[in-house]
Amino acid sequence: MLSKRTLLSALAGLGLTLAVAPAAAQTYPDKPIKLIVPFAPGGPMDIMARLVGEKLHAGLGQPVTVENRAGAGGAIGSKAVFAAEPDGYTLMWGSSGTISILPALNASLDYDVKAFTPVALVSLLPHVLVVPTTVPAKTVAEFVAYAKANPGKLNFGASLGTPPHLLGVLFKTLAGIDITYIPSKGAAPSITDMLSGTTHMQIDALTVLLPLVQEGKLRALAVSTPQRWPQLPDVPTFAESGFPGLTRNAWSGVLAPPKTPAAIANKLNGVINAGLATPESKATLLKLSAITQPGSPQDFSKFIAEQAPIWGEMVKQSGAKIE
């Protein structure tokens, strides 16, 4: 049994620890910050992360280094942040792929995504259903009819376990069509397959597909937003096309290691929200077809909790697994 002196000493030590945490938050940050992006450089996620890094640098007065650690579906970079000190100097660019989908795909993950500290939801990423111009369909209804008239003859491509893959499977299920999923290594190879006639449909992020639609190389049939997208005013929503269940967007945001003090998360949140509210930031995100949705860390935590079962159910429907 602990002696009275030992117990008092332990309590005093705990009190000292609790006192130090707010003090550390008050002086934060006093050295450079690292933002880990669990994806390869150059893509939309990387571009948005670097935009946020610039805003953090401007608002906090400390250098912010963006470090790409791709691999294992985002697990390598995510695990690095999970194991980092919860002092606000190592942050993660999280997404629907790494936080909402990966745990449902990979039961052997050796870290708990629910333990990350939510900081700020940065953007929602709408998707669009497109077909190559060789496919004789100008509406979703026409594509469904075309697919039913050609069972087993049409394909769609996407990376395994990504939002484009899961949305494609969900569309196939809801539409009751026999269309084959072709795994690919990313959006670019999938687009190449469509342009060459190997595949006949793709549901992917607007930021990836919008330029090709505007150039007339692909035909957009529906968008995943609740309202029509401003840059595609003639393209109906999935809801307008009879598929309200496809009104779903991917997301991205900033998270910190487990047990990061709330004061630090709140400070980062305020800087990020203020930085993204500028006209320049809004214009950049619009070019990336991203929707801003500012809120508190608590709002972001609630959002993540709501998204997990949605994407988890889609993983279950798709039958996708990563061992």
- Report helix angle 262-276 to 297-318, nearest 10: 80
Q: Give residues with Cβ within 8 angstroms of 3, minimum separation 6.
A: none
Contact 303, 310 (CB under 8 A): no
Contact 219, 131 (CB under 8 A): yes
Bridge partners of 234, per DSSP, are none
Per-residue pLDDT tens for 117-139? 999 999 999 999 999 999 999 99
Per-residue pLDDT tens for 174-190? 999 999 999 887 778 88
Please give the Cα distance from 118 to 100 (Å, whole number).
13
In a 13 Å sphere around the CA of 227, the CA atoms on its Cβ side amount to 3
Backbone angles phi, psi at 282, to 5 degrees: -60, -40
Contact 51, 123 (CB under 8 A): no
Measured at the CA of 47, the angle between CA 42 and CA 53, to 5 degrees, comes to 130
Dihedral sign for Cα 297, 299, 305, 307, please.
negative
Measured at the CA of 220, the angle between CA 215 and CA 222, to 5 degrees, comes to 150
Look at domain 10-125+249-318 and name its CATH class.
alpha beta
pLDDT in tens, the chain (323 residues): 444 444 444 445 555 444 445 556 678 999 999 999 998 888 788 889 999 999 999 999 999 999 999 888 889 999 999 999 999 999 999 999 999 999 998 888 999 999 999 999 999 999 999 999 999 999 999 999 999 999 999 999 988 888 988 999 999 999 999 999 998 877 788 889 999 999 999 999 998 899 999 999 999 999 999 999 999 999 999 999 999 999 989 999 999 999 999 999 999 999 999 999 999 999 998 888 999 889 999 999 999 999 999 999 988 888 877 75
Residue 309: cis peptide before it, omega within 30 degrees of 0: no
Domain ranges of the chain: 10-125+249-318, 127-246
Q: For the chain, what is the radius of gyration of the CA atoms?
A: 22
We find that the CATH architecture of domain 127-246 is: 3-Layer(aba) Sandwich (3.40)
Q: Which residue has the tokens 């579906």?
A: 73
Contact 276, 292 (CB under 8 A): yes
